[in-house]
Amino acid sequence: MKRMILMTLALSLLIGLAFAEENPIRGYLGDPNIKMFREAVNYLVEQDGGSEEDLKNQITLAFLANLEAKRIMELAVQRMEKLSAGERFSLGNLYLSRDDYAQSIKIYESLNKEFPKWSCPWRHKGEALYKMKDFKASAKALEMSIETNLEHVDAYIWYAFALNELKQYKKARTALEKAFELQGKEEEGSHFDEELPEAKINALYDQLKKKTK
């Protein structure tokens, strides 16, 4: 909350310096809703001179987009019972992408209870728990992801990272080699989890080979 207040103050200061008159941006800050957000965006587009060196409008737009995203996400949480399973999963992923691991885990857990055989929420919950450094719980969630989908490549990769942190190096190597095996069967051009660059995965595998001689 304190961070959001500081961001809003910083944005207000930026707007005050950039625009002396009343405008849709201030209108949005006073009454945030989708209509006012659209008007503020249109206003910024009209004001933008298109110069790559003049970024004040783009910075203001970035602030507004961040505020609106948070508003919509909080509204979605309040109306969770009206969202479909896919919408809830996407919402959990949004919170995960914004490093709000606790909120994302709550959403994934509700999906785990309602759809226990759906692999993806288990996998993403495992990632969130890993990033919270709860490696034991992460490994358990990823085990469930694998159990419900034996070909879930990303689950094996995150599982290997969690097991490595738990010093279970042989199991971690086996999991990673399974991911490589499955990856080799997929279509050309497919890739690993975007959160884990291939170089990082290969570096872990090199470490595991040394640890499991």
pLDDT at 188: 46
pLDDT at residue 70 is higher than 70: yes
What 8-state DSSP symbol labels residue 83?
S
The more confidently predicted of residues 20 and 160 is 160
Percent of the chain beyond pLDDT 90? 69
Cα 41 from Cα 180, distance rounded (Å): 45
Q: What's the whole-number mean pLDDT along residues 196-201?
A: 92
The tens digit of pLDDT for each residue in 118-157 reads 999 999 999 999 999 999 999 999 999 999 999 999 999 9
pLDDT at residue 199 is higher than 50: yes
Phi, psi torsion values for 191, nearest 5 degrees: -145, 170
Question: Where does the pLDDT of residue 56 fall: very low under 50, low under 70, confident under 90, or very high at 90 and above?
Answer: confident
pLDDT at residue 180 is higher than 80: yes
Q: Which residues of 2-38 are buried (b: 16+ CB within 10 A; e: fewer)?
A: eeeeeeeeebeeebeeebeeebbbbbbbeebeeebbe
pLDDT at 189: 41
Question: What domains sit in the chain, N to C, each tagged with a CATH number?
Answer: 2-78 (no CATH), 80-211 (1.25.40.10)
- Angle at which helix 56-78 crosses helix 34-47, to 10 degrees, equals 170
Q: What's the whole-number mean pLDDT along residues 149-172?
A: 97
pLDDT at residue 10 is higher than 70: no
Highest mean pLDDT among 6-20, 154-168, 183-197: 154-168
pLDDT at residue 86 is higher than 50: yes
